[in-house]
A and B are shown apart, each in its own frame.
Chain A
């Protein structure tokens, strides 16, 4: 029979394989879901751009065969903001980790949500800084041991869906790497949604989080996700905070409409400037 190909391969820079991710890491799994969502969405891939920050998840941009930008630590969202404003035809996806997006990039996260910039954020949350060796992140649950919290973490952690909903996101969902079909569907929904969309994906970091906390390997973590996840679409985000090895509320929490930044800008400037307002679809210089 004719040669069949892994459906993910046309979306990857195969000349860069194998990737750097550890055995049992879930980032590659999220990439599978991302590519399935792209296939299902039937979007024009020439107009899909992916922007990453720094960290393990930040490497996704380098592996995906799209226009792709591996930016500075925490700054994927403001870079993506400039890109999207300059060319509104682009479908701009920000693909990065929890530390990158919510610690060093936390200010940008809330402000982009507030402005309702039309960006799709995929936040792979492994509860730790993985690339640098397993340090405490704003998402690290209480009691978890990290390389910088050797006696256990005592800082309260961010509940990311609650944070971005409060800041103004129009679409908020959480899944784990166990929920591959739901995650792919969520990504597809986010691609079609106008405005600031945020998908949190819990993912194992067996090398640094699970191992140091004696929680087994990647597979053990996937089994934990399967056992302890509860799908509650529409759950109030104030109730979806994570605890160490506790129940994980997953689902689509927020799906609402409000005008995005460009629409607000267009409306205000057209109203006040009248005929003097010159709207430009693309800021292409010669």
Chain B
């Protein structure tokens, strides 16, 4: 997952669009402003979030902590240049 400037983002988010009720907590409280509410609707008529700044995601999972609908979470990406740490990779 390479960002705009070819830098590997530290983290990523996963969104379960259908579970979202568009409260906007994840968008508001993302410390690096990775997310925005999409203009698209899910089947219940809500606007789920989508990623607008992939490269900024640190994988801190604050979105996951806030999401009252368990519809989004963040995770850290394995960093190829760093020494692979098997333990943390497995822990995911």
Contacts and interface: CB of A to CB of B under 8 A. Distances in A.
In the complex they form, do A and B come into direct contact, defined as C-beta atoms under 8 angstroms apart? yes
Interface of A: 1-2, 4, 6-9, 12, 17-19, 21-29, 31-33, 36, 177-178, 180-181, 184, 217-219, 222-223
A12 B73 CA distance: 15
B73 A8 contact: yes
A255 to B, nearest CB: 23
Nearest to B18: A18
Interface in B1-54: 14, 16, 19, 21-25, 28-29, 46
Contact of A4 (B14, B22, B25, B29): B14
Given A24-B23, A218-B25, 13 more contacts: A1-B78, A6-B16, A6-B70, A18-B19, A18-B69, A21-B69, A26-B68, A28-B69, A28-B70, A32-B66, A32-B70, A178-B29, A218-B68
B70 A222 contact: no
A19 B70 CA distance: 10
A24 B73 CA distance: 17
Contacts of B65: 29, 32-33, 36, 180-181, 184
A18 B65 CA distance: 17
Contact of A23 (B21, B28, B62, B73): B21
B24 to A, nearest CB: 5
A177 B29 CA distance: 12
Interface in B54-91: 61-62, 64-70, 72-73, 75, 78
B67 A4 contact: no
A22 B61 CA distance: 22
Given A23-B46, A28-B68, A7 B61 contact: yes
Nearest to B12: A4
A223 B73 contact: no
A28 B67 contact: yes
Contact of B24 (A6, A19, A178, A219): A219
B23 A8 contact: no
Contact of A219 (B19, B28, B46): B28
Contact of B70 (A17, A25, A218): A17
Contacts of A8: 64, 70, 73
Contact of A180 (B66, B72, B92): B66
20 contacts: A4-B14, A6-B16, A6-B70, A7-B73, A8-B70, A18-B19, A21-B68, A23-B21, A23-B23, A24-B21, A24-B23, A24-B68, A26-B68, A27-B68, A28-B69, A29-B25, A36-B65, A180-B66, A181-B65, A218-B24
B73 A219 contact: no
A33 to B, nearest CB: 7
Given A28-B68, A32-B64, A180-B62, A6 B23 contact: no
Contacts of A31: 68, 70
